[in-house]
Structure 1
Amino acid sequence: MKKNVQLLSIALFASVLSISGYKIFDKESESVTQEYKIPWQNQNNNTKTQLASYTGETSELNFTEAAKKTVNAVVHVKNVTTFRQSRNPFDYSYGSGETRKAIRGAGSGVILSPDGLIVTNNHVIEGASEVQVTLNNNKTYVAEVLGKAPGNDIALLKIDATELDFLAFGDSNDVQVGEWVLAVGNPFNLTSTVTAGIVSAKARDLGRSDSNFQSFIQTDAAVNPGNSGGALVNTRGELIGINTAITSQTGSFIGYSFAIPSNNAKKIVEDLIEFGNVRKAILGVKVIELNSAFAKQLEVESSQGVYIKDVEEGSGAHEAGLREGDIINSIDDIKIRKFADMTGYLNSKNPGETVMVSYLRNDKQLTTDVTLDIFKVYQIKDIGVEVTEISEADLKKYGAESGVLINKVLPNSFTKSDISGLLITKINEKKVNSIEDVRAIIDNKDPDDPMLVTFLSLNGQEKTYVFR
């Protein structure tokens, strides 16, 4: 009995102590709550004061200034087609009826100068009979198309306006993976919309066969239909990319979006203004992207970089001393881990410029200065191929005296096979020595006449096809 009384006394004491402790804690909680009210419970709604009182410092990450700098410099671009519609359903005469306009598609664009120079994606305006540009203040203009680079998916527009807000190109080489970025555009025909994300990867190759450009900035900022051609900016409001593509089975954003780096877009715009087309700079080498399996096969330690399998005679690379077996691992201190790193950087340079190439030779790190050559190409649109010139050394491999090399098969090609690497030696029974020869023959041909093209393969097989 006495033992039970002792146990009861201990239990009562513990209960009192527990209740007292709870009251003390509750009072302390009340005092904390009174001192640090959450912002939306503050009657004065002084959010900044409350956050400063609670954290002791304000956050440096603020997108508002970058957004302010950007939204008025991003425009809505409409692809308009015109057609005639007859009022009389029985009138089928050509050109009759009243002219109507319809929107084929829409996207975004970025103003680059106060007098209305605008960059957008080529696919946004492709096939348009009229291009309309709407500013963030709802003013609409009809734009002139100054230039197009379909292979790079860039188009340059001009509107008749002055004193416009605009964005200057930033340096996309300084962009870091993990850096915060904003995507600004007009998704789903909405006015300027800002989304945020981080840089997920650089020099991303999407494997698009219809594009000359394969070195994108990948972000997780939400980009949807209508964002194409819009701005990718950093937190300082600097233009670091032109939003171009998403990877999605539905056509809408699922977490990945891609932008042309600003350094490349700037170079394309400058080329379109000065030359009317894009001039491509090359080292003059053929390379293979390294990986662990290929490195093992070559018995080299490095599993990153690009392996030179051939150097074009007389090229900048040849003059600088590069040779087969060298492994390029940086250009101008830009790390070259894969092929897209190299093409992405070189596509921002001009022919005639000099770059510093660092490379491995027999496990020894070396450097050399290479003057970049111009890559001359011409598209034979009638048969859907792109050709380039070929060195005399490579001509000997084909056993040919002259010809131009098929560099790429275009989407409208006469064949579904990849015939890149074949030589075109004659067009309409005339020998071709350069792409200028090809251009002259095609320009002087009657459009209604058939075209005879002679192809030659490395194994010596020669075939002539007639194209009508």
Structure 2
Amino acid sequence: MKKVGLTLLTAFVGGAMALGVYKVMENKYDDSLSIEDKQKVYFASNKSAAASNMVSSAGSVDFTQAAADVTPAVVYIRTTYSSKSNDNQDQFEQMFGQMFGQRMQPRGPQMASGSGVIISPDGYIVTNNHVVAKAEKIQITTNDHRSFEAKVIGTDPNTDLALIKINATNMPIVKLGNSDAVRVGEWVLAVGNPFKLNSTVTAGIVSAKGRNLGIIGRNEDEDNPFPVSQREPSLKKGIESFIQTDAAINPGNSGGALVNTAGELIGINAAIASHTGSYEGYGFAIPINLAKKVLNDIKKYGAVKRGYVGINFADLSEPEAAKSVGSDKTNGLYVNSLVDGGGAKQAGILPGDIIVKVEGNPVYESSDLQERVARLQPGDKINLTVLRNGSEKSFDVTLKADAPVERTAAVSKSATELFNKLGASFQPLTAAQKSKFRVNSGVLVTQVRPGGIFADTEIPVGSVITSINRQPVNSISDMDKVITSMRNGRLVISGNYPDGGSFNNVFQLQ
């Protein structure tokens, strides 16, 4: 009996100490703990919340425990906009075709709705940037019908994520999972507030991973000569590597939870692919492993700190891009150029290399590199394997901080309007490309935009411009000098088509 009594006493003291530590830590949430640390404290003291009777998708699946664990921590978000802000929201909706599922009315102060997920007991909530962007007021309603006003801690348009906070304690939270471990075919639940129907749970499977839809920041930066698909990952306007699911996601689900059968958060629901604006079988969520880094940066720094590799590239999974660089490969990233002082150049990567692996994992398209880089901080190293002259070479690249908007060369203000009229983007030729086209000078046409001179005269991507006004050009700065010094608005552009045929076009610019 004495032994039993001693055991019970030890257990009681241990439990009391654990509870005491939890209470101490709880009071220090705001200042000292990361979101992951808060989660560890929470689930260490609430083991029942992490318990699950789930089995693998190969057997009988019971979603009831996962739904019970998650729904208390998924909130309804209602936002209010002024007339001016609403105009911006209307433009956003038109651009994305309601892909994100936010519905708003035209004129006057309006309201919109979405979802959010509580990830910290002291009231931190993750949602989509587009749910709260430019909102004047954010009203949160919890699953138990409590109401709070939320403030925006920070947003990241590049990943469409936002961190907001309510003034509350002891809130239920969803446990962060591991999106890298998610497998295609795995059962998942989508939890949110579609059509203002609070705490709606739908089930489906993971249909695909690493989807790059080109919907975040699809408008290209006009000052950047490289198309979005060919830029340094951290310089893209949107960082996308979505988890695709057929769990029903509808307007209002934006910012809600995508969880596995253990009730772990593996993604933040962000978009639907639909011709009608409602569910048609395709939903997309931001991987939680990417979100962790973004949210912790926002909480710690107020903004996201990103490193960059220092390259511009062509995604060889896009046939036109592969054709333009003369590659017969159907996967990997062709290095077009390197940023001076960038990590890739310092590590020894060269133009013409093809990035085929990131941290030992195959690169099939740009999102495979994009998401990995987006998870890291400036100063972190990333291992890249490139294909060079038929052999693989491995490089450890140190990511640099505060990446500027990369340009091949500065373009003077006086030339900007003329470049816009040309409607094309360019990059210097590599030695291999000069040899292929048998030219001593030239720039490669990397993009042709509708409505410009190049589109009207059918000069396609992959063409080489060898001279302008009879003067050889090897860079954007060469083009800048020629264009700004031309007389009478007369522009003579000479070069070769991708098939080797030559052209000599004369334009009279107004």
TM-score, length of structure 2 as denominator length: 0.59
Q: Per-residue deviation at 1:279? A: 2.3
> What is the one-letter code of the residue matched to 1:369?
D
Aligned counterparts of 1:282 and 1:260: Cα–Cα separation in 2 = 20
Match of 2:335 in 1: 308
CA change 1:365–1:420 in 2 (3 A) is closer
Out of 177, 180, 200, which is 2:207 matched to?
200
Q: Which amino acid aligns with 1:196?
A: A
The answer to whether the aligner puts 1:367 opposite 2:387 as a matched pair is: no
Q: 1:191 to 1:294 in 2, by over 3 A?
A: closer
What residue in structure 2 maps to residue 459 of structure 1?
A: 479
Is 2:308 the counterpart of 1:288?
A: no
Matched AA of 1:131: I
Q: Which position in structure 2 is the counterpart of 1:162?
A: 169
Cα drift, residue 75 of structure 1: 0.5
Cα distance in 1 for residues equivalent to 2:154 and 2:323: 46
Give the stretch that moved more between structures: 315-324 or 243-252.
315-324
Matched to 1:244, the amino acid is A
Aligned to 1:150: 157
Name the amino acid aligned to 1:352: G
Q: Secondary structure at the match of 2:148?
A: strand
Report the counterpart of residue 71 of structure 1 in structure 2: 71
CA distance in 2, matches of 1:290, 1:227: 34
CA offset digits 1:118-168 (Å, max 9, x no partner): 011121122322101111101110111111223322221111111111123
Paired letter, 1:120: T
Q: 1:184 and 1:462, CA in 2 relative to 1: closer, same or farther beyond 3 A?
A: farther
CA distance in 1, matches of 2:376, 2:146: 36
Distance 1:418 1:184 in 2: 44
The number of equivalent residue pairs is 329
Aligned to 1:222: 248
Q: Per-residue displacement from partner, 1:152-190 (whole Å, max 9, x unpaired)?
A: 222211111111111233222222222211111011101
Stretches of structure 2 lacking an aligned partner (at least 5 in a row): 1-57, 84-107, 220-236, 428-475, 486-510
Identify the structure with bigger relative contact order (alpha carbons < 8 Å, sequence gap 6+).
Answer: 2
What residue in structure 2 maps to residue 110 of structure 1? 117
- Which of these residues, 118, 130, 135, is aligned with residue 137 of structure 2? 130
Give the C-alpha shift of residue 102 in structure 1.
Answer: 6.9
Q: SS of the residue aligned with 2:195?
A: helix
Q: Deviations over 1:402-457 (max 9, x none)?
A: x9xx9xxxxxxxx89978789xxxxxxxxxxxxxxxxxxxxxxxxxxxxxxxxx86
The answer to whether the Cα contact below 8 Å between 1:421 and 1:457 also exists between their aligned partners in 2 is no
Rounded to whole Å, the distance in 2 between the matches of 1:421 and 1:275 is 36
Work out which of the residue numbers 253, 260, 281 in structure 1 matches 2:286. 260
Cα distance between partner residues in 1 of 2:61 and 2:283: 22
What CA distance in whole angstroms lies between the structure 2 residues aligned with 1:62 and 1:332? Answer: 36
Distance in structure 1 (CA, Å) of the matches to 2:377 and 2:406? 19
| Partner residue, 2:362 | 335
The residue aligned with 2:127 is: 120
Output the TM-score relative to the length of structure 1.
0.64
Task: Flag the 1:462–1:243 CA change in 2: closer, same or farther, 3 A.
Answer: farther
Q: Cα RMSD over matched residues?
A: 3.0
SS in structure 1 at match of 2:277: coil
Instruction: Determine the structure 1 residue equivalent to 2:181.
Output: 174
Instruction: Give the structure 1 partner of residue 275 of structure 2.
Output: 249
d(CA) in 2 for partners of 1:140, 1:418: 51
* SS class of match (1:72): helix
Paired amino acid for 1:179: E
Q: 1:419 to 1:263 in 2, by over 3 A?
A: farther
Shift of 1:78: 0.5
Aligned counterpart for 2:381 among listed residues 354, 357, 360: 354
Amino acid paired to 1:172: S
**Are positions 1:271 and 2:297 aligned together?**
yes
Instruction: Give the number of the structure whose residues are more often strand, by fraction.
Output: 1
Residue type of the alignment partner of 1:350 = Q
Q: 1:417 to 1:195 in 2, by over 3 A?
A: farther
Conservation of the 8 A alpha-carbon contact between 2:387 and 2:393:
yes
Stretches of structure 1 that go unaligned for 5 or more consecutive residues are 1-57, 84-100, 378-387, 407-414, 423-455, 464-468
Higher relative helix content: 2
For residue 317 of structure 1, what is the aligned residue in structure 2? 344
Question: C-alpha offsets along residues 226-280 of structure 1, whole Å, 9 cap, x if unaligned?
Answer: 1000011111211111100111121101010111111111111112112222222
State the Cα deviation string for residues 270-321 of structure 1 (Å, max 9, x = none). Answer: 1211222222222111111114776688676642111112122321111211
Tell me: CA distance 1:142–1:318, structure 2 relative to 1, closer, same or farther (3 Å). Answer: same
- Aligned-residue sequence identity (percent) comes to 43
Aligned to 2:61: 61
1:232 aligns with 2:239: no
